[in-house]
Amino acid sequence: MKTIFIITGQSGSGKSTALAAFEDAGYYCVDNLPVSLLAKFLELPVEKETHFKGFVLGMDLRERGFLTSYRSVFDELRAAGHNLEIIFLEADNSTLTRRYSQTRRTHPFAGKMQSVAEAIDREAQELQPLRNEDATRIIDTSAFNVHKLKQVIGALAADSQDGIQLKITIVSFGFKYGLPEEADLTVDVRFLKNPYFVPELKPFSGLDPNVKDFVLSDETTRTFLTHYVDLLEFLIPLYQKEGKRYLTIAVGCTGGRHRSVAVSSEIHRQLKARYPDARLTHRDIGNEG
C-alpha cells in the first residue's frame, strides 16, 4: 500500500509550496480536507482510475476540529494498513513574521490575537503535541526559499516513489524562422558542413540516411556530439535536483531541414538510452525543399 503524506505545521511555513511540489511529482493533492472525512476520501476510486502515485493531504488548524480528531483518525487508518507520513513544517518566529508582512495574508489566529507575533506563538503552542508526538518528519523552512523547499519535498517524493521525471524534448529548428520560445538550451550547428550545397542531397531532409550519414560522419560533427552529449549528461541530473520538470533542447541550423534534423536525431538517440521518455520533434522540416 502506498504512503499517504499529511502536510501540516505552522501557518506561513510553506505548506502550500510543499503541496505544489508533491503535485508536480505526480501525487493527488487536497488541501484543507476535514480530518473526519479522510477515511471516506480514501475509499474513493481516485487512485485506481488515474496515474497518480499517491495521496498528499494538507491539514492544519484552519479546521477547528483538527487537533481534537486527528489522532484517532490516523490511528484507525494505520490499523487498517495505511502507511502515514506526517510532515510537519515550521520556521522561526522572525521568518514567519516577515513572510506574513510580505504576503499580507491573514494569520488563522489573527482574530484572537492583537498581533501577528502573538498569533504565531499561540499557534506554535497549540501544535506542540502534533509536532513532538506524531510528526514523522520535521522540516524547518526558515532558511528556505521556494525553490529550496520544492527541492527538499521533491527528494521526499523521489524516495517514496520512482522519482521525479524530467520531461526532455529535443527540437530541431531553422534560425530563419525564429528561435523556439520554449527552448531552455539552444545550440547552433551552422558551423557543420551543409548538405544543402550538395545537389544530390539538397532535396532530402536530415531524416534521409544519406543526408544523415553526410552530417554525422564528419569528424567535426562527431567531436561536437561527444562534447555536447557529455555536457547534457552533466546538466540533466542537476536540473532534476533543482526540481525542474521540463527541459527543451533546441538544435538549430539555417533552415531547420538538414543539419539540425540529423544532429537532433542523434542527440535524441543517445539520450534515450538513459532517458527513455525523451521526445524528438522537427519544427521546420517541411518549410523548404
116-129 and 93-103 helices, crossing angle to 10°: 130
- CATH number of the CATH domain containing 18: 3.40.50.300
Is this model's pTM higher than 0.85 or not?
no
* Contacts of 74 by beta carbon, 8 Å cutoff, 6+ apart: 6, 84, 86, 134
> Does residue 68 form part of some domain?
yes
133 shares its domain with 233: no
Could you tell me if 107 and 192 lie in one domain?
A: no
Q: Examine the fold and report which residue of 99, 130, 160 is the final residue of a domain before the chain moves on.
A: 160
Model pLDDT for residues 217-228, shown as the tens digit of each residue: 999 999 999 999
The percentage of residues in the chain with a pLDDT greater than 70, rounded to a whole number, is 91
Last residue of a domain, one of 137, 160, 183: 160
Domain with 134 in it: 3-160
Reported confidence tier of residue 9, pLDDT bands at 50, 70, 90: very high
Which cell numbers in the block locate residue 51? 496515474
| Position 129 pLDDT exceeds 90 | yes
- What is the spatial distance between Cα 23 and Cα 56, in angstroms, rounded to a whole number? 8
Residue 195 belongs to some domain of the structure: yes
Domain match, 177 and 151 both? no
